[in-house]
Structure 1
Amino acid sequence: MPDAAYASRLDALRDWVAARHDLPADRLRLELAAGDASFRRYFRAWLADGATRILMDAPPAQEDSRPFVAIASDWRAAGLPVPTLHAQDLDAGFIELEDLGDTPMHLLLGDEDSEATLACEERALALLDVLQNRAPAAPLPAYDAPLLGRELDLFPEWCLGHFLNIDAPPGWQRHRQRLIETALAQPCVAVHRDFDAMNLMVHAKQLWLIDFQDAVSGPLTYDLISLLRGRYCRFSRPRFVAWVEAFRQRAIADGRLPERVDCDNFLHMADAMAAQRSLKVLGIFCRLTLRDAKSGYLERLPRFLDHLRDSLAPWPDYTELVDWLDNTFAPALTRALAQHARRGTPT
């Protein structure tokens, strides 16, 4: 967003909040609290009594805030830990939210095997069970074949085409279709769609959900692998398998998953879902860098290449794709990242 437009929206946001709380606009303290990969920005406001609020600035031309408001209402009614919405002006793109502090879960993570990290992951897995059992899936958009396909297509378009300038792997359309079919074969639940340590806030001794505006009704394993194969940790295969199996058993016990889905079948579902998400993320991170001029994303590509390989390598059906990753994609990615580093291009 150009500087003039940025300043204009900030002035309008300040005026809106000041009027709501009967404060002089020039006396209202606002500080940038966070930005994200979208056009949304978040500010902290201090009220006259010392209380604070988080203000979401979501320009309506780029961001539709209606899903966020609707989901927040539904999930709060279901007893889920989401921030209170104190006020909203959807025409302007302004929302006043409960302040959950400055401690996303990822700040508490250590090494993959540290007690702190394992405890955080267990807490998040427990919250995921609650989310899937309580959140209504019916009102949410369907995570259907067209959406899954559009996400997968980000990989050949942005990562392979625009960034690496290499062709799609042999059998790409076959692999693409298999990943879509495996996702659609799973039971449907409410899917946060970015159930990541960055979007789980630690506040008042519990975890809270934020950034849920893109939630959909979709595959049971999607949020599970968003957590276990996210941007911060690469867990060992035995630990990943143990977590997936424990999740399967809990899902059968509470009715989210039919008993006929055995351990190997469910693990395959989880790995295929992780592969789909890793391919999507590789494409999105390249698009954020090349189209949207966002920094800090290219440096994360090797982590998601690792996740992609970890997800595909155990399964013979994907041997051809794993060979391509090792012999074509990985060397091309290494060269491209090195070129960006030499040019001093922000990653």
Structure 2
Amino acid sequence: MTTTATNETAPPHARPFLADAGWGEARIEPLAGDASFRRYFRVVRADGTSAMLMDAPPPNEDPRPFLAAAHYLLDHGFRAPGILAEDAAQGLVLLEDFGHRRMRDHLDTAPDDEAPVYRDAVSVLANLHRAPAGPFRPYDLNEYLREAKLLTEWFCVAHGLAVDDDGYEAAWREVMEPVLGAQARHPGGGVTVLRDYHAENIMLLSPDEDGFEAFGQGLLDFQDALVGHPAYDLVSLLQDARRDVDPALEQDMLRHYLPHVDDEAAFLADYARLGAQRNAKIVGIFVRLSRRDGKDRYLDLIPRVWDLMERDLAHPALAPVARWMDANIPGELRAARGATAA
């Protein structure tokens, strides 16, 4: 995370919270926000030590899912930020500060590090998928369908398209059936899925820091964790809505993960299914962020996401959804020149 030049101030109840935690005199610096109501601040003591303050204000936010996921990850040897203090009722959490070395920013300045950094991120997932599934609700068909429908509810509506909603749901039901079967075959009904695992939510740390076995990568933004399919977070990482990942690198990283699966062809088909589902969701979310929340900057990312989705739709496993797309969404709206006209 990097400091942003804004006039955002912490909520009034932050000062007493910090005082109770032993940080009462710390300086509070606002940090750049993202797509949610959560805000983050860096708090810095006079001696230079720092921590992160999360403001997750009720009723729009609830820090308890974040805290549950953080404790699960820490208990299993993964590098979530340590919890220094918490007041869930007021939406405040004081966290360990992972510093400034975000994966995205590091690779922007050191592109030669791309392969080893991504390989480490894939290795973190392989270790996470060997751990017992966390105490999270299942990534079930209703959730997959709800997310996929964000495309029709927001993107299609924004473009004035009258589409076959029933056919859309039926296509996704058919496509996602093998994914649900694969999840069910895992002990515990699946693996822990962080759901927003990408280069802007991974911090690069010293690999030996505090004795954690986490390949030097700190994890952020995991409050929406579910128990689902191991391909989901791979898709999130390798089909990044915010950063170009070369298809050759994507294939190299898949080869790095595939020794951990029993049936490579089935896994790659599920990877394409989940890629298309996730990218459909993201297109809808980015339009929603613009139309509902006034965050128009996300529209510029939509062409990349459509390009990723088209690659996924080319897989035979996506044939029902691909046919629906061809029948309902004109090609010019799926191309870069039309994808952002929302």
- TM-score class, shorter-chain normalisation, is 0.7 to 0.9
1:42 to 40, 43, 48: 40
Query: Where do 1:245-284 residues align within 5 Å?
Result: 245-249=255-259, 251-252=260-261, 259=262, 261=263, 263-284=264-285
One-letter amino acid of the structure 2 residue matched with residue 59 of structure 1: P
1:100 to 90, 98, 101: 98
| Alignment-derived partner of residue 144 in structure 2 | 148
2:181 to 180, 185, 189: 185
Aligned residues: 316
One-letter amino acid of the structure 2 residue matched with residue 76 of structure 1: L
Deviation at 1:297, TM superposition (A): 0.5
CA distance in 2: counterparts of 1:106 and 1:140, whole angstroms: 28
> What stretches of structure 1 of length at least 5 have no aligned partner?
1-5, 253-258, 341-347
1:216 to 203, 226, 232: 226
CA distance in 1: counterparts of 2:33 and 2:205, whole angstroms: 19
SS in 2 for 1:35: coil
C-alpha distance after superposition, 1:274-309 (max 9, x if no partner): 000000000111111111222421000001000100
One-letter amino acid of the structure 2 residue matched with residue 320 of structure 1: R
| Alignment-derived partner of residue 30 in structure 1 | 28
Deviation at 1:243, TM superposition (A): 3.0
Query: Where do 1:235-254 residues align within 5 Å?
Result: 235-236=246-247, 239-249=249-259, 251-252=260-261
> What stretches of structure 2 of length at least 5 have no aligned partner?
1-7, 184-189, 208-215
Deviation at 1:220, TM superposition (A): 1.4
Give the ranges of 4+ consecutive aligned residues of structure 1 lying more than 6 Å apart after TM superposition. Answer: none
| Alignment-derived partner of residue 119 in structure 1 | 116
CA change 1:308–1:227 in 2 (3 A) is: same
CA distance in 2: counterparts of 1:230 and 1:182, whole angstroms: 24
Percent identity reads 32
CA distance in 1: counterparts of 2:174 and 2:252, whole angstroms: 25
| Alignment-derived partner of residue 255 in structure 1 | none
CA distance in 2: counterparts of 1:287 and 1:60, whole angstroms: 21
**Contact preservation (8 Å) 1:199, 1:209:** yes
CA change 1:209–1:336 in 2 (3 A) is: closer
**Contact preservation (8 Å) 1:55, 1:97:** yes
**Contact preservation (8 Å) 1:87, 1:97:** yes
CA change 1:116–1:138 in 2 (3 A) is: closer
One-letter amino acid of the structure 1 residue matched with residue 163 of structure 2: A
Deviation at 1:92, TM superposition (A): 0.7
| Alignment-derived partner of residue 345 in structure 1 | none
SS in 1 for 2:11: helix
CA change 1:227–1:335 in 2 (3 A) is: closer
**Contact preservation (8 Å) 1:31, 1:44:** yes
1:132 to 129, 133, 156: 129
Deviation at 1:121, TM superposition (A): 1.2
TM-score, normalised to structure 1, is 0.83
Deviation at 1:172, TM superposition (A): 1.9
| Alignment-derived partner of residue 5 in structure 2 | none
Query: Where do 1:312-331 residues align within 5 Å?
Result: 312-315=313-316, 317-318=319-320, 319-321=322-324, 323-324=326-327, 327=331, 329-330=333-334
| Alignment-derived partner of residue 199 in structure 1 | 201
CA distance in 2: counterparts of 1:276 and 1:150, whole angstroms: 10
TM-score, normalised to structure 2, is 0.84
C-alpha distance after superposition, 1:221-246 (max 9, x if no partner): 0001101101212422x543443243
CA distance in 1: counterparts of 2:138 and 2:315, whole angstroms: 29
CA distance in 2: counterparts of 1:242 and 1:121, whole angstroms: 10
2:161 to 143, 160, 166: 166
**Contact preservation (8 Å) 1:193, 1:214:** yes
C-alpha distance after superposition, 1:89-124 (max 9, x if no partner): 111110000000122111122599x53222221111
Comparing both chains, which one has the higher relative contact order based on Cα–Cα distances under 8 Å and sequence gaps of 6 or more?
2
CA distance in 2: counterparts of 1:16 and 1:184, whole angstroms: 43
**Contact preservation (8 Å) 1:192, 1:215:** yes
CA distance in 1: counterparts of 2:195 and 2:89, whole angstroms: 25
One-letter amino acid of the structure 1 residue matched with residue 93 of structure 2: I
